[in-house]
Each structure stands twice: as structure tokens, then as C-alpha cells.
Amino acid sequence: MSKNEIAFQGEMGAYSHIACEKLFPGSSIKACSTFEETFKTAYENENCKIVVPIENSLAGRVADIHYLLPKYKLQIYAEHFQTVEHNLLVKENAELKNIKYVRSHAQAIDQCQKIILKYKLKTIISADTAGSAKELSKSNDTTIGAIASTLSAKIYNLKVLIKNIEDERNNVTRFLIMGKNIKQPKYETNKKYITSCIFRLKSIPAALYKCLGGFATNQVNLTKLESFSVKNTFDQTNFYLDLEGHIEQPKVQKALEELGFHTESLNILGVYEASQSRQKN
């Protein structure tokens, strides 16, 4: 594995692949079949970075990622906001009048309901968008289309029949760039930062209320707080948290110290510059 290798989950042509190309042009890019394989790739090779989606503006958080974060404890180096643009792809010799079925990931199907209903297309659910394009490329059936990226069309020699078929144009996925080595940017007053962590509360009354009080007292803004169960039990809960600020700032240190008083475990996942896309919002 080269020093510039980047890994993502999915088939070549996936939106994660597009993010990799944009973030690390010219690098060797590896496609992994599962998120578990993706995390394991970086865990076993410190020279590899991974680009993984953590949430989507329409679909919400990405399943499995929150459970892999505490398992592998990879470090977050940066965040990236990628616009998702869906397209109707077909075989080179197919026309719109031929298409009776459309294949894609369930979320992509849900996000393109207007065109599906307009042309009365029957849907076929696939594991991912790029995978649906790959399957279509192997078939000679001109009655099936796929919802995927323009990069998928290029890779699998398909025709873009209709561009930007998504119902909502503000479809954005937030990606995390992660790796095994711990590294944090030095704090600069003219820059904005995000600190991410995962914690598990002590099982005592008002623990969540008390731990969040430190952020209010020290005027630290939280941009995300999500809970998810520990393994397959309902007795304990982990929390994923993003806050505005750098761990070297005294107010952030005090807030995290207060958080630590009320937790069984606290893992800092990363300190990184806030994306320009976030700062525009």
C-alpha cells in the first residue's frame, strides 16, 4: 500500500469515490466492500487515510459509522461536505421510452421520487448507487436504468440520460477524513475548529444534564449530539459530540474536564479545521 493510498466504502464511481478524487487528486484509491473493511484498512496501515460519510442532509446519519468510531478509534483529520447529484444512467443504445425499471440504493430511490413517478418506473433496490451502475453495465437489458453519479457513467461506459434528477438540490453528505496516527493542527486565533469526541455517561440521575452544563458555563457551542446504544443492549448509551473550538482553548478544556467528571469513558476523536462549507452556513 503506497503512502498516498486512500480507502472508501463502495464501488468505484460512488459519491465517496468522488470525494476521494476531490480531496486527494492523483492518489491511489482503494474501494472496500464494507465500512468495517474500510476502517480496518486504515487501522492496519498508518499510511492509509479513509474517507467515510457520517451524515446526509436529507437521510440523516449513516448507519454503522457511529459503532465503528469507538471500535477502531481512528483520528479525524478533516471534514468535507460533498454535494450529491443523482443522474439517470442507461445503456448507450437505450432511450427514455425504453426504460421501465430503475436500479439504485434505497436512499437514492427515495431522493428521486418525482422522476420515478413521472415516468412510472418500477424500482430495484441495490446495495449502492455505483454498484447499480456496474450491474447495469454487465447487462444487455435496455429497459433498466440506474441512479448514480456521472463518474459512474464514465467508469462503466453508460449514457447519462437525464442529469440532476434529485427531488431536492440541497442534498449534501458530510465526510470525515480519518487515519490511525494522532495529529492535531496547532491552534490559530484566526481559524475555526471542530473537536469531536465519543463518551459514555455514568449511570446516575441527571448525568447528561450535568455533563452538558460545562459547555453552557464555558460558552462552548455544540453543533451535534447523538446517542446510540452500546452493542446490543438498551442499558447503556454512547454519545457522539461535535463542538466548535480547539482543545487548546481554555474554555474547551474546562468544558471537556467537566464532561469527564460525569462519564465512564471519553475519547477525543479529532481536532480539525471547520470546513469552509460549514462556515458559509
- For 258-281, write each residue's pLDDT tens digit: 999 889 999 999 999 999 888 654
* Domains of the chain and CATH, by start: 6-82+171-179 (3.40.190.10), 87-162 (3.40.190.10), 193-280 (3.30.70.260)
Residue 158 has pLDDT above 80, yes or no: yes
- At 41-75, the pLDDT tens digits run 999 999 999 999 999 988 888 878 988 999 999 99
Taking the C-alpha atoms of residue 39 and residue 36, their distance in angstroms, rounded to an integer, is 5
Q: How far apart are CA 63 and CA 125, in angstroms?
A: 17
Counting residues of the chain whose pLDDT is more than 70, the rounded percentage is: 96
Q: Where are the alpha helices (DSSP H) in the chain?
A: 15-23, 35-44, 65-72, 106-110, 113-118, 129-138, 150-155, 207-217, 250-261, 276-280
What mean pLDDT comes out for the span 190-212? 91
What sign does the CA torsion over 103, 55, 40, 200 have? negative
- Dist CA 246 CA 189 (whole Å): 10
| Strand, helix or coil for residue 274 | coil
